[in-house]
Chains A and B, each alone.
Chain A
Amino acid sequence: MRVEASLRGARTHSPRSMQHAASSARSPFAANLFRYRWLVYELISRDLKLRYRGSALGFAWTLLNPLLFMGVYTLVFGVYLKIGIPSYAVFLLSGLLPWAWFSNALMQGTTAILDGRMYVGKTIFPAEVLVLVPVCSNFVNFLFSLPVLVGVIVLFHGSLGLPLFALPAVVLVQMILTTGLLFFVATFNVFYRDLQQLMTYVVMLFFYLTPIFYQLTAVPVALRPFVEASPIAVLIQCYHQIFYANEWPDLASFAYLLLGSLVLFFLGYAFFKRHKESFGEYL
């Protein structure tokens, strides 16, 4: 019958120190997450439930979406434009699935804090949970769509092997990278909502600038360093290597990706933390 221990007990809030027993201002990200793990779980499952509630095919959409995407792109780039990549459907889908996870999380996450205003503005609430939910729910979608990828690989006589063991590490890095980016974007969007309009174009831009439906070799040599410096391009490259080329991701670029993602994550979290106290006033 009691409110959980940390919500209980005497507490003060004074302006300078801004300490609230339940406020996560002082507790690290992981501790806060652990305390609210059930809420994270609930919000992820409700996000997934709501996505297809009211549609006749329901969960099947998770499998249909990537297939439809693949169909359109294969037709345009594989058949019309003859991009000349063998087993193009496999190549495409192995980059498209992680991209869908990344871009959907980013689009949905931009407004995550804003959309959670009924909680953030009404009670003491760890807003980092809101940022994490779109990353996780789209990850679950990604996981469920993997069988489609495997099916397509089998269909086109592709091969899967030991490099699959690198997948968890790649997935983890993508999680860190996406969450880190979202800390920036979602926080910024609370104060300047112009960003959510802009994000559609930013995401589209990066879709075309990242070698997802074409190979890096298609990029002019002079411009390649720019593409290779983009963490998202390196990330997609890792997926291409695992699922399409059946080779281990390049260790040096993976290390670069990991380091970049971690830096981004900690900077993003610091940015978020600096501003979270004032969310209530802007929502």
Chain B
Amino acid sequence: MTPAISVTGISKRFYYPAIPKQATLKEMIVKGWFREARKTNVVDALRDVSFAVEHGQTLGVIGRNGSGKTTLLRVLAGVFQPDSGSVYIDGSLAPLLSLAAGFHPDLTGRENARTELLVLGFTPRQVERHIDDIIDFADIGDFFDAPMRTYSTGMVMRVAFAAATSVDPDVLFLDEVLFVGDESFSTKCLDRITAFKRRGKAIVMVSHSNAAIVEHCDVALWLDRGRVAGFGDPSDITSAYHNAAMEASAQLLA
């Protein structure tokens, strides 16, 4: 059986100007900015990353800030094109959950959810069917038809999670945000995720909480400066990551 996600040797390099953009006019002239500006620094956000996730598996991605987790997620979602290597997704994708950032405060939960589903390419009839599911899952009562600026943070996340998962994708991406809801909603989310896994869907989760990775994931991927530092059993990988982090801070103190 083909894996749900197979990633083969992807690399992604970013270029940015060697000189900060907010150089003043004087600096530009004095430092010969126009020549300097053409020079660029490079950051290798991903270097030769390969791994595979089977259907029904949950992958946890860990690593320090700036280690390439977000870039990886974006390459998987097709937002960024890798410079080399290839990504193969067996099935449909959910958008990145941070799509909640696209909610407009002056529009109601219903209007925002509808736009999000249309962005994903649904027809109005399909959207109407999903909306009922979203209302049901988000469970925020009359607020669903009130402008989103009147929502609490938790309520926004409820709608965001309900909308992103209602589309029933084959591969789901999750950010940390999942765990911000109240107790009962977290349980509900986890139930839905468990149901996803049972139906053979793959999940990719990014988290800074080692406990969450060990609890929810079947495999873990540790990224260090864009390289795969470890891939395998979540408890092994998280403890290796933990030890490395400890060592790094010990060195810093010494």
Q: Which residues of the partner chain A approach B83 to less than 8 Å between Cβ atoms?
A: 15
A123's partner among B2, B85, B120 (CB-CB below 8 A) is B120
CB-CB contacts of B63-92 with A at 8 A, as 1s and 0s?
Answer: 000000000001001111111111111111
Besides A7-B93, A38-B123, 20 more A-B contacts (Cβ < 8 Å) are A1-B129, A1-B168, A3-B92, A3-B120, A7-B121, A8-B92, A10-B2, A10-B90, A10-B91, A13-B81, A15-B83, A18-B81, A22-B121, A39-B115, A39-B119, A54-B106, A119-B102, A119-B119, A121-B74, A124-B78
Tell yes or no: B1 within 8 A of A by CB. Answer: no
Chain B nearest CB, measured from A252 CB (Å): 43
CB-CB contacts of A96-137 with B at 8 A, as 1s and 0s?
Answer: 000000000000000000000011111111000000000000
Tell yes or no: A2 within 8 A of B by CB. Answer: yes
Assuming A15-B82, A36-B121, A42-B118, is B88 touching A122 (CB within 8 A)? Answer: no
Assess whether A122 is in contact with B84, with CB atoms less than 8 Å apart. no
Assess whether B99 is in contact with A50, with CB atoms less than 8 Å apart. no
Assess whether A3 is in contact with B78, with CB atoms less than 8 Å apart. no
Tell yes or no: B230 within 8 A of A by CB. Answer: no
Assess whether A50 is in contact with B106, with CB atoms less than 8 Å apart. yes
Tell yes or no: B143 within 8 A of A by CB. Answer: no
B78's partner among A23, A35, A38 (CB-CB below 8 A) is A23
Q: Which residues of the partner chain A approach B123 to less than 8 Å between Cβ atoms?
A: 4, 38
User: Which 7 A-B residue pairings sit nearest by Cβ, starting from the closest?
Assistant: A118-B102, A123-B95, A14-B86, A39-B118, A280-B79, A3-B92, A4-B121
CB-CB contacts of A49-61 with B at 8 A, as 1s and 0s?
Answer: 1100110000000
Assess whether A46 is in contact with B111, with CB atoms less than 8 Å apart. yes
Q: Which residues of the partner chain B approach A3 to less than 8 Å between Cβ atoms?
A: 92, 120-122, 167-169
Assess whether B77 is in contact with A53, with CB atoms less than 8 Å apart. no
Tell yes or no: A250 within 8 A of B by CB. Answer: no
Assess whether A123 is in contact with B96, with CB atoms less than 8 Å apart. yes
Q: Which residues of the partner chain A approach B88 to less than 8 Å between Cβ atoms?
A: 10-12
CA distance A125 to B121 in the complex (A): 9
Q: Which residues of the partner chain B approach A118 to less than 8 Å between Cβ atoms?
A: 99, 101-102
Tell yes or no: B239 within 8 A of A by CB. Answer: no
Tell yes or no: A217 within 8 A of B by CB. Answer: no
Interface centre among A15, A22, A50, A54 (most CB of B within 10 A): A15
- Give the interface of A toward B (CB within 8 A): 1-4, 6-15, 18, 20, 22-23, 35-36, 38-39, 42-43, 46, 49-50, 53-54, 118-125, 277-278, 280-281
CA distance A8 to B14 in the complex (A): 30
Assuming A10-B91, A122-B102, is B167 touching A38 (CB within 8 A)? Answer: no
Assuming A18-B81, A280-B79, is B86 touching A43 (CB within 8 A)? Answer: no
Assess whether A46 is in contact with B78, with CB atoms less than 8 Å apart. no
CA distance A35 to B107 in the complex (A): 24
CA distance A122 to B81 in the complex (A): 13
Assuming A39-B118, A122-B102, A123-B120, is B87 touching A12 (CB within 8 A)? Answer: yes
Q: Which residue of B is nearest A6, CB measured?
A: B121
CB-CB contacts of B163-181 with A at 8 A, as 1s and 0s?
Answer: 0000111000000000000
CA distance A1 to B165 in the complex (A): 11
Assuming A22-B78, A42-B118, A46-B111, is B126 touching A122 (CB within 8 A)? Answer: no
Assess whether A13 is in contact with B78, with CB atoms less than 8 Å apart. yes
Tell yes or no: B39 within 8 A of A by CB. Answer: no
